[in-house]
Chains A and B, each alone.
Chain A
């Protein structure tokens, strides 16, 4: 496979074809923040937290590092003022939905994001899609889905399948950057297939 010479934050790197900026950055030891990325899943490009500046033939543009494939003479800057500003804004918007998320708080500290900047709108879910994708891509069970659209979009368990599959799996739980997933599961269970235990307790 042909090698592609790129530069990330001043460090030169010989990337191989098909690599994304995020993968290349990991190789050279540059950290790019991510929320919706998980190496076992197809890249999704949902959270945009991995936004970086990519310069090709003298033109610079903003791209999602987890999706963007490396190309010849690519120059990547991961911590410019513009990039930091974008990440700060994204974090502030997400914090309005999930103020208690540990992952978000850690990033917020790094980027100086104020979690009280926007009015709280606690939906808890930040739509990273990790739960939905993990269940479909890895487990092939397709128990969780996004329903509705726009500001009403939310994740939803399909109770008929959840009652059969989830009890012994729950592998998606630790993936959720907030705790929206667990909450949605408990609610689904309580409404559709309460276990004897939770009734008597």
Chain B
């Protein structure tokens, strides 16, 4: 991500420090992760200490300090999904992609996250890829659509 793109986002919020979280969210959205250099630039431009920026960036799950894959896989581990076999689903997805929760594969295609309730308990165990629920198909089929 270049400085112009960061500037553009920061300018949208008139460089106000109180919009730190929104700014980081937009950068995360665009860049899919927050490189250290970018965080430093943000810290300088907003005049917020780097320590404070780091604290925020590590606090929220939305932010990633390592590169994320193009397609983010979310597997729900909530109660309903757990009962309906989330563990098995997770294991299968791990085998298919070769990554564990929190990791990204080497070609940056997929990253895997687990979480709780995606608000779709009746079709559990729920797997989402890029925010879309993968319904009525095997994990292998679902992943193939995003290869």
Q: List 27 A-B contacts (CB under 8 A).
A: A136-B49, A136-B51, A142-B49, A142-B50, A142-B51, A142-B52, A143-B51, A144-B51, A145-B51, A145-B52, A145-B54, A145-B55, A146-B55, A147-B54, A147-B55, A147-B58, A147-B59, A148-B58, A148-B59, A149-B58, A149-B59, A156-B54, A158-B50, A158-B51, A158-B54, A160-B50, A161-B50
Tally chain A residues at the interface, Cβ within 8 Å: 13
Main secondary structure of the interface of A (DSSP, over half): mixed
A192 to chain B, nearest CB (A): 12
- Chain A residues within an 8 Å CB radius of B58: 147-149
Q: For B50, give the chain A residue with the smallest CB separation.
A: A158
Tally chain B residues at the interface, Cβ within 8 Å: 8
Which of A143, A144, A147 has the most C-beta atoms of chain B within 10 angstroms of its own C-beta?
A147
Interface string of A129-148 (1 = CB under 8 A from B): 00000001000001111111
Q: For B60, give the chain A residue with the smallest CB separation.
A: A149
- Chain A residues within an 8 Å CB radius of B49: 136, 142
A129 to chain B, nearest CB (A): 12
Q: How far is the CA of A161 from the CA of B50 in the complex (A)?
A: 10
Q: How far is the CA of A40 from the CA of B109 in the complex (A)?
A: 51
Interface string of A144-168 (1 = CB under 8 A from B): 1111110000001010110000000
Q: How far is the CA of A158 from the CA of B52 in the complex (A)?
A: 11
- Chain A residues within an 8 Å CB radius of B55: 145-147
Interface string of B29-51 (1 = CB under 8 A from A): 00000000000000000000111
- Chain A residues within an 8 Å CB radius of B54: 145, 147, 156, 158
